[in-house]
RNA sequence: GGCCGGUUGGCAGAGUGGCUCAUGCAGAGGACUGCAAAUCCUUGUACAUCGGUUCAAUUCCGGUACCGGCCUCCA
């Protein structure tokens, strides 16, 4: 298995520290508002990686952690804007997020830790850094001393000189070096906070992931993931904290970063009016279409979202489910996933290549004649699709949705049309078909009779 | 300004130092069908640009142009 490792800036063979417990940590969202498309892409990509790891090492030999940041100034701002309590905001947003993930068929990670439940671990980590002289106190803050770490910047590949040249680092008079970042900061009495050796305050963002990953996965683990925008400063600072607090440990061996999501070729932003939340997009297309769409581009590339692409993904799924609909009553045999698909996914999660083989498997299924061949083709397709997290739905439900009384009415019209066809009254038969088409119901004749679908 | 990444056919999007060939959508033709739909078969079109290395480059190296990302919160 191979992964593109940001540390080495190249693809390298993945060798876990412990094959019996492969450990992965992926940065999750800050819960202050509905998750947007970018917040959806990253978990979908790492969900595929999780599935591939489970397939290779066994489900019980993989530990996957994805955190929830529930203490942050953005949440504080939301509280000021809306007047809603912090707790109300984070609980509601968390629930929305979990629901969105479920719709996208993202498997639940083994742990979904919340920052506020690991404050003690964070305080311990700060104490360790102070003791090792990698941090210092100033005006109620505790700051990480970047000058205490000679190779600070090794992950993102930038030198201290460059960072200062950037000159957009927040300058504060209490910082020894402008690049020093906050580990702990003071809170006002009306702000969320916890008592600490440095007074009432709250943790800096970077600290959370270092503390939670250490607690749940250990001081050295295999994969750390996230969007490429997190490389600097977030992941760089996590490295600084964790490596300085635990000398001799490796923190994460493989850093895996997904390309940014864009909309119509440019960065998604509220000011450009091309900002979409997951639930907004799911009003226009099934969640599975969005999931498939994310997988049509290699995760490492920037991903360009368009509604045309979303519609195309939906049509692709129609094609796939059409094939499955024909063999809906066929039992699966003992076939396993297509080896080419496993190989493609184990080669740095090459989902576009894997999908091209899915198309081939669908074609094979459509052409299969004997029951034995059909069962084999169906099983291979479903087992392969499971690695990608697609085709999990019942094909009839995919096309018909949750229809109630409507179905009986349609069946009645189909019977009428069959009668008309028998009498060679094609005008009436075509009228029934066209009337239904206007209501979004498509009829398909076959030697076995007529079936219908919703479009 | 600094640091990264990209540029493949009408569109989306893999991949490869030479071979017949990604794949999908769209287009063209055909089979099946009362007609459709679905499905199947056949088919055209490509590697930004200029140099270099090589027997051979879309693929490796370098320059140029263009596009995007990061450098501040961000998945």
> What digits encode the pLDDT tens for the residues A408-424?
899 999 999 999 999 99
Statement: the CB of A260 is under 7 Å from strand B: yes
pLDDT tens digits, A281-296: 999 999 999 999 999 9
Convert A27-88 into a string of H (helix), E (strand) and C (coil): CCCECCCCCEHHHHHHHHHHHHHHHHHHHHHCHHHEEEEECEECCCHHHHHHHHHHCCCHHH
Q: What is the pLDDT of residue A162?
A: 61
For chain A, what are the domain ranges?
2-258, 263-398, 403-454
Report the mean per-residue pLDDT for chain A: 92
Q: Which nucleotide is nearest to A227 (CA to C1')?
A: B75
Q: How far apart are CA A61 and CA A54, in angstroms?
A: 7
Statement: the CB of A203 is under 7 Å from strand B: no
ipTM (interface predicted TM): 0.94
Q: Which range is least confidently modeled, A88-102, A150-164, A357-371? A: A150-164
Task: Give CATH superfamily name and number for A2-258.
Answer: HUPs (3.40.50.620)
Between the CA of A377 and the C1' of B61, what is the distance in angstroms?
46
Say if residues A207 and A234 touch (Cβ distance below 8 Å): no
For A263-398, CATH gives 1.10.730.10
Q: What is the pLDDT of residue A163?
A: 61
Between the CA of A303 and the C1' of B9, what is the distance in angstroms?
21
Q: How far apart are CA A7 and CA A371, in angstroms?
A: 50
Res. A166: pLDDT tops 50: no
Q: Which nucleotide is nearest to A74 (CA to C1')?
A: B73
For the residues A24-40, what does the mean pLDDT come to?
A: 94
Question: Among all chains, which residue has been given the structure tokens 């081939």?
Answer: A360
Statement: the CB of A166 is under 7 Å from strand B: yes
- Buried b or exposed e, range A170-184, using 16+ CB within 10 angstroms: eeeeebebbbbbbbb
Between the CA of A158 and the C1' of B15, what is the distance in angstroms?
32
Q: How far apart are CA A43 and CA A36, in angstroms?
A: 12
**Whether the domain at A2-258 and the domain at A263-398 fall into the same CATH topology:** no
Statement: the CB of A301 is under 7 Å from strand B: yes
The reply to whether omega before A233 is within 30° of 0 (cis) is: yes
Question: Which residues of chain A (91-130) touch nucleic strand B at CB < 7 A?
Answer: none
3-state secondary structure of A130: helix
């Amino acid at each position: 298995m191979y992964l593109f490792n940001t540390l080495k800036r190249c693809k390298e063979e993945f060798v876990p520290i412990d094959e019996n417990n492969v450990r992965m940590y992926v940065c999750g969202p800050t819960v202050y508002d509905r998750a947007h498309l970018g917040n959806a892409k990253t978990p979908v990509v790492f969900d595929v990686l999780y599935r591939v790891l489970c397939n290779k090492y066994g489900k019980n030999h993989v530990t996957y952690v994805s955190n929830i940041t529930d203490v942050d100034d953005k949440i504080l701002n939301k509280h000021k804007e809306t007047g809603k309590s912090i707790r109300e905001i984070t609980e509601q947003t968390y629930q929305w997020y979990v629901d969105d993930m479920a719709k996208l068929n993202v498997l639940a990670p083994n742990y979904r830790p919340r920052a506020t439940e690991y404050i003690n671990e964070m305080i311990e980590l700060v104490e360790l850094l102070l003791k090792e002289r990698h941090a210092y106190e100033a005006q109620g803050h505790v700051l990480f001393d970047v000058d205490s770490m000679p190779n600070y910047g090794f992950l993102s590949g930038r030198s201290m000189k460059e960072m200062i040249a950037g000159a957009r680092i927040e300058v504060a008079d209490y910082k020894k070096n402008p690049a020093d970042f906050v580990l702990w900061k003071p809170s006002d009495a009306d702000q969320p906070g916890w008592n600490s050796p440095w007074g009432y305050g709250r943790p800096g963002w970077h600290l959370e992931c270092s503390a939670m990953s250490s607690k749940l996965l250990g001081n050295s683990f295999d994969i750390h993931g996230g969007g490429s925008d997190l490389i600097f400063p977030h992941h760089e600072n996590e490295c600084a904290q964790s490596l300085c607090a635990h000398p001799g440990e490796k923190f994460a061996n493989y850093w895996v970063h997904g390309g940014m999501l864009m909309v119509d070729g440019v960065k998604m932003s509220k000011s450009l009016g091309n900002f979409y939340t997951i639930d907004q997009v799911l009003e226009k297309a099934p969640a599975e279409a969005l999931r498939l769409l994310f997988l049509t581009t290699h995760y490492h590339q920037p991903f360009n979202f368009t509604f045309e692409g979303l519609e195309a993904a939906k049509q692709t799924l129609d094609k796939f489910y059409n094939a499955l609909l024909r063999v809906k009553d066929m039992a699966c045999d003992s076939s396993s996933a297509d080896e080419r698909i496993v190989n493609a996914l184990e080669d740095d999660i090459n989902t576009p290549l894997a999908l091209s083989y899915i198309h081939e498997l669908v074609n094979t299924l459509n052409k299969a004649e004997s029951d034995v061949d059909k069962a084999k083709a169906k099983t291979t397709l479903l087992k392969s699709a499971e690695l990608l997290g697609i085709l999990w739905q019942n094909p009839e439900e995919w096309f018909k949705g949750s229809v109630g009384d409507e179905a009986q009415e349609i069946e009645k019209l189909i019977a009428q049309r069959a009668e008309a066809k028998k009498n060679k009254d094609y005008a009436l038969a075509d009228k029934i078909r066209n009337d239904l088409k206007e209501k979004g119901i498509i009829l398909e004749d076959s030697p076995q009779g007529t079936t219908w679908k919703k479009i």
